[in-house]
């Protein structure tokens, strides 16, 4: 039964009933759902971007925390520039404004593969980091679950993957509520926080003392400020998701994608700036034992239901940030597979009209990564953000090249906007790579180089296959000699039907029996006269009781007769009614098929005989 009803029923329960191809247009996303699908990664960074800034500034003492506001506004300006840049990119690439496609189109194959590989790595890390962070929030509240954190991470990854296997529109419905609950919670916190500050109703948080275990205060250097800026710039991660997913929008795709991108940027800047400014006004100091958002929510709400609501919403959005990666990784893999740089299987749509192979590969890879790093966000963070800023920089540099090449009306200000974005994200990339290189960023650099080599090797293989299969200059095959052999180990109804089938292929078909026991050979020859259907029986002796050795030697002799001699081996194979009954029989057919798989001019044909219950 395992191969029939139960597996199909389980698949239908988890994934849902298959959708016809004609339904694909109706499975696209409206603006409300699309915002939830593509915003979760970006919004989740609001929960920790401010804290990342403060954790760097505190190294120069509590007085340096006052720089968090100007750094926050600088990051907000970069966000606005990048959002505007991607609006232009979406207009130029309505079929999908993936950084891979844009860089490949304008800067060449190597730049495109670099952007594509960087994003594939970043999406995988997004799943691992966000789920680990969300599970860390759970285990902080319930320490008894800490030993099971890796299992919880894998479970969460599996749940998000299943949600995405059900289709983009359905996953949007599943994950929309947490995204909007998060937005609502932070808006309420920011509004009430500013109101209470203006009324003088909130005192400063613990203004003394750095984070637990922090190093001694050092000088406030320009590099430290740049590090704080680069750390806070993780707020930009996920902006490219909308541009990657343009084909997933309902028509008019470009207008809807641009509208969602602007909404995403507006919400993100509002929440990020609001959180950063409030943290500065309330003199919040980052602490290892409590997040900045938790401190801020406690000061604003004084504990109570709203405090726990913000904490729960933050935990949910951190886990569901993986949803953005699950929406974009499969689509990027499809683009690269279409161009021959990834296996073709990434281009196949599943039952629910999603690129299910990409979803499954992402889930498995992220789960392995989480297991290797033991579900530690701290261990994974140094690998994060290098990939996305690499793709940002390449994409915006590509658009500068495009404007200088095409020179449409207003091209100069478009080029200036993209150039500013490229310079800024390029600076962030350099600072992030330099600051985190020895902490683990070097792994991403090495992995990216390895991926590019793999991409080029895959494309080389596909090009070679296409060349060898091409009909250009082909004069047709030479005359073919054909020998049909039926491999028998006994004589029963399944063998008789296989002999009958072999005679339809060639009236000169022969049966081959490898002798392992002379007594069995004698009994077989006696019955062959009556049930052998007149097919000659060739007995190959095997003094060392090897089945394959004498058979392969005989086939090789046949093939040497002619350069275009083809041997077809017909395998009689009875099929038990129950799956477990296969374990009770020799798997001779599998052994023969495996041995013949890579032998030229040898064809293996199964003739199954199905047993009753």
Q: Can you tell me the distance from the alpha carbon of 326 to that of 324, in angstroms, rounded to the nearest whole number?
A: 5
3-state secondary structure of 600: coil
Give the contacts of 159 (CB within 8 A, at least 6 positions apart).
Answer: none
3-state secondary structure of 587: coil
The pLDDT score that the predictor gives to residue 498 is 94
For the chain, the structural domain boundaries read 19-463, 481-610
Residue 404 pLDDT exceeds 90:
yes
Tell me if the pTM is above 0.85: no
Q: Which residues are paired to 512 by β-bridges?
A: 487, 538
Mean pLDDT value of segment 118-128: 90
Query: Residue 21 region, left (φ>0) first, then alpha (ψ -120 to 50), else beta?
Result: alpha
Q: Can you tell me the distance from the alpha carbon of 536 to that of 11, in angstroms, rounded to the nearest whole number?
A: 48
Instruction: Label residues 96-126 b or e (16+ Cβ within 10 Å = b).
Output: bbbbbbbbbebbeeebbbbbbbbbbbbbbbb
DSSP 251: S
The pLDDT score that the predictor gives to residue 239 is 82
- Are 149 and 135 in contact, with CB atoms under 8 Å apart? yes
Q: For the domain covering 19-463, report its CATH number.
A: 1.20.1740.10
The pLDDT score that the predictor gives to residue 133 is 78
Residue 534 pLDDT exceeds 80:
yes
Residue 398 pLDDT exceeds 90:
yes
Give the contacts of 398 (CB within 8 A, at least 6 positions apart).
Answer: 102, 103, 105, 106, 107, 111
DSSP 285: -
| Burial tier of 529 (Cβ tally within 10 Å: 0-12, 13-18, 19+) | exposed
Phi then psi for 484, rounded to 5 degrees?
A: -110, 125
Phi then psi for 544, rounded to 5 degrees?
A: -105, 15
What percent of the chain has pLDDT above 70? 89
DSSP 148: G
pLDDT, tens digit, 9 for 90 and up, residues 58-113 = 888 888 898 999 999 999 988 898 888 888 888 888 877 788 989 999 999 999 99
Phi then psi for 570, rounded to 5 degrees?
A: -95, 125
Q: For the domain covering 481-610, report its CATH number.
A: 3.40.50.620
C-alpha distances (whole Å) from 319 to each of 137, 142, 150, 548 are 10, 16, 14, 54
Residue 164 pLDDT exceeds 50:
yes
Instruction: Label residues 322-349 b or e (16+ Cβ within 10 Å = b).
Output: bbbbbbbbbbbbbbbbebbbbbeebbee
């Amino acid at each position: 039964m395992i191969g029939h009803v139960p597996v199909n029923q389980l698949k239908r329960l988890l994934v849902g009933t298959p959708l016809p191809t004609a339904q694909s247009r109706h499975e696209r996303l409206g603006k409300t759902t699309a915002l939830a699908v593509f915003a979760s990664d970006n919004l989740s960074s609001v929960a920790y971007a401010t804290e990342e800034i403060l954790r760097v500034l505190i190294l120069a003492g509590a007085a340096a925390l006052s720089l968090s506001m100007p750094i926050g506004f600088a990051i907000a300006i970069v966000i606005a520039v990048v959002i505007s840049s991607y609006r232009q990119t979406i207009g130029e690439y309505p079929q999908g404004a993936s950084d891979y496609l844009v860089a490949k189109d304008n800067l060449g194959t190597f730049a495109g593969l670099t952007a594509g590989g960087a994003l594939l790595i970043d999406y995988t890390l997004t799943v691992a980091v966000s789920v680990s962070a969300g599970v860390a929030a759970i285990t902080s509240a319930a320490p008894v679950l800490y030993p099971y954190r890796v299992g919880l991470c894998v479970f969460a990854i599996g749940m998000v993957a299943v949600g995405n296997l059900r289709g983009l529109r359905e996953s949007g419905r599943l994950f929309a509520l947490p995204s909007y609950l998060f937005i609502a919670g932070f808006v309420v916190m920011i509004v009430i926080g500013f109101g209470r500050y203006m009324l003088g109703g909130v005192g400063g948080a613990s203004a003394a003392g750095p984070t637990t275990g922090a190093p001694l205060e050092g000088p406030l250097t320009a590099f430290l400020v740049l590090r704080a800026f680069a750390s806070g710039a993780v707020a930009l991660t996920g902006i490219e998701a909308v541009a990657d997913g343009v084909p997933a929008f309902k028509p008019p795709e470009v207008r809807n994608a641009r509208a969602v991108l602007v909404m995403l940027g507006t919400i993100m800047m509002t929440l990020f700036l609001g959180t950063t400014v409030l943290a500065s006004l309330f003199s919040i100091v980052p602490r290892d034992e409590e997040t900045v958002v938790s401190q801020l929510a406690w000061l604003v709400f004084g504990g109570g239901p709203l405090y726990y609501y913000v904490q729960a919403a933050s935990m949910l959005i951190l886990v569901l940030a993986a949803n953005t990666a699950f929406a974009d990784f499969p689509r990027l893999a499809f683009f690269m597979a279409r161009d021959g740089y990834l296996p073709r299987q990434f281009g196949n749509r599943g039952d629910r009209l999603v690129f299910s192979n990409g979803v499954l590969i992402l889930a498995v890879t992220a789960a392995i990564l989480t297991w290797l790093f033991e579900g530690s966000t701290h261990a994974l963070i140094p690998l994060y953000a290098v990939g996305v800023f690499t793709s940002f920089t390449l994409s915006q540099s590509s658009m500068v090249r495009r404007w200088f090449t095409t020179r449409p009306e207003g091209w100069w200000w478009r080029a200036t906007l993209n150039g500013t974005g490229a310079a800024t994200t390029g600076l962030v990339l350099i600072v992030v790579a330099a600051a985190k290189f020895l902490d683990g960023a070097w792994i991403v650099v090495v992995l990216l180089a390895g991926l590019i080599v793999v991409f080029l090797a895959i494309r080389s293989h596909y090009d070679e296959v296409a060349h060898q299969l091409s009909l250009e200059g082909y004069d047709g095959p030479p005359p073919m000699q054909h020998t049909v052999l039926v491999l028998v180990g006994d004589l029963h109804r399944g063998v008789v039907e296989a002999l009958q089938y072999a005679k339809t292929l060639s009236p000169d078909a022969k049966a081959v029996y490898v002798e392992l026991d002379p007594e069995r050979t004698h009994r077989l020859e006696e019955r062959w006269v009556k049930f052998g259907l007149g097919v000659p029986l060739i007995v190959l002796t095997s003094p060392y009781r090897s089945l394959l050795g004498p058979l392969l030697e005989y086939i090789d002799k046949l093939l040497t007769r002619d350069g275009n001699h083809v041997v077809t081996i017909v395998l009689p194979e009875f099929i038990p009614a129950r799956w477990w009954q296969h374990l009770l029989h020799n798997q001779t057919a599998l052994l023969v098929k495996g041995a013949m798989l890579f032998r030229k001019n040898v064809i293996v044909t199964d003739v199954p005989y199905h047993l009753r219950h």
